[in-house]
Structure 1
Amino acid sequence: MTVKKGFHVAVVGATGAVGGQMLQTLENRNFPISKLTLLSSSRSAGKKLTFKGEEYTVQEAKPESFEGVDIALFSAGGSVSKALAPEAAKRGAICVDNTSAFRMDQDTPLVVPEVNKADLHEHHGIIANPNCSTIQMVVALEPIRQKFGLKKVIVSTYQAVSGSGASAIEELNQQTKAIVSGESFEPKILPVKSDKLHYQIAFNAIPQIDVFEDNGFTYEEMKMINETKKIMHLPEVQVAATCVRIPVATGHSESVYFEIEEDGVTANDLKEIFATAPGVILQDDPSNQIYPMAVDCVGKNDVFVGRIRKDLDEPKGFHMWVVSDNLLKGAAWNSVQIAESLIHLGLVKEK
Structure 2
Amino acid sequence: MGYRVVVAGATGNVGREMLNILAEREFPADEIAVLASSRSTGLTVDFGDTGKTLKIQNIEHFDWAGWDMALFAIGSEATAKYAPIAAAAGCTVIDNSSLYRMDPDVPLIVPEVNPEAISGYKRKNIIANPNCSTAQMVVALKPLHDEATIRRVVVATYQSVSGAGKEGMDELFEQSRNIFVGDPAVPKKFTKQIAFNVIPHIDSFLDDGSTKEEWKMVVETKKILDPKIKVSATCVRVPVFVGHSEAINIEFVDEISAARAKAILREAPGVMLVDKHEDGGYVTPIECVGEYATYISRVREDPTVDSGLSLWCVSDNLRKGAALNAVQIAELLGRKHLQKAG
Shorter chain as denominator, the TM-score bin is: over 0.9
Aligned pairs (5 A) from 1:147-226: 147-190=147-190, 198-226=191-219
User: For the Cα contact (< 8 Å) 1:274–1:282, is it kept in 2?
Assistant: yes
From 320, 332, 335, give the equivalent of 1:329. 320
The aligned counterpart of 1:103 is: 101
Q: Secondary structure at the match of 1:154?
A: strand
CA offset at residue 274 of structure 1?
0.6
TM-score (normalised: structure 1): 0.94
From 272, 293, 299, give the equivalent of 1:302. 293
**More displaced 10-residue stretch of structure 1: 281-290 or 59-68:** 59-68
Alpha-carbon deviations, 1:135-172, whole Å to 9, x = none? Answer: 00000000000111110001000000000011111110
The aligned counterpart of 1:193 is: none
The aligned counterpart of 1:25 is: 21
CA offset at residue 70 of structure 1?
0.2
Distance 1:348 1:173 in 2: 45
**More displaced 10-residue stretch of structure 1: 281-290 or 120-129:** 281-290
CA offset at residue 62 of structure 1?
2.9
Distance 1:324 1:47 in 2: 31
Question: Is 1:280–2:271 an aligned residue pair?
Answer: yes
From 38, 51, 62, give the equivalent of 1:42. 38
The aligned counterpart of 2:228 is: 236
From 5, 10, 17, give the equivalent of 2:6. 10
Distance 1:310 1:54 in 2: 50
**More displaced 10-residue stretch of structure 1: 239-248 or 76-85:** 76-85
User: For the Cα contact (< 8 Å) 2:69–2:330, is it kept in 1?
Assistant: yes
Aligned residues: 338
**More displaced 10-residue stretch of structure 1: 282-291 or 76-85:** 282-291
Alpha-carbon RMSD = 1.3
User: For the Cα contact (< 8 Å) 1:10–1:37, is it kept in 2?
Assistant: yes
User: For the Cα contact (< 8 Å) 1:133–1:330, is it kept in 2?
Assistant: yes
User: For the Cα contact (< 8 Å) 2:37–2:60, is it kept in 1?
Assistant: no
Residue 340 of structure 2 aligns with an amino acid whose one-letter code is: K
Q: Secondary structure at the match of 1:151?
A: strand
Alpha-carbon deviations, 1:62-89, whole Å to 9, x = none? Answer: 3643121101000011111111111111
Residue 22 of structure 2 aligns with an amino acid whose one-letter code is: L
- In structure 2, stretches of 5+ residues that fail to align are none
Question: Is 1:255–2:226 an aligned residue pair?
Answer: no
CA offset at residue 266 of structure 1?
1.1
Aligned pairs (5 A) from 1:11-90: 11-51=7-47, 52-62=50-60, 64-90=62-88
The aligned counterpart of 2:112 is: 114
Distance 1:321 1:189 in 2: 28
CA offset at residue 298 of structure 1?
0.1
User: For the Cα contact (< 8 Å) 1:63–1:88, is it kept in 2?
Assistant: no
CA offset at residue 47 of structure 1?
1.0
CA offset at residue 48 of structure 1?
1.1
Distance 2:115 2:34 in 1: 27
Residue 84 of structure 2 aligns with an amino acid whose one-letter code is: P
Residue 56 of structure 2 aligns with an amino acid whose one-letter code is: V
**More displaced 10-residue stretch of structure 1: 252-261 or 308-317:** 308-317
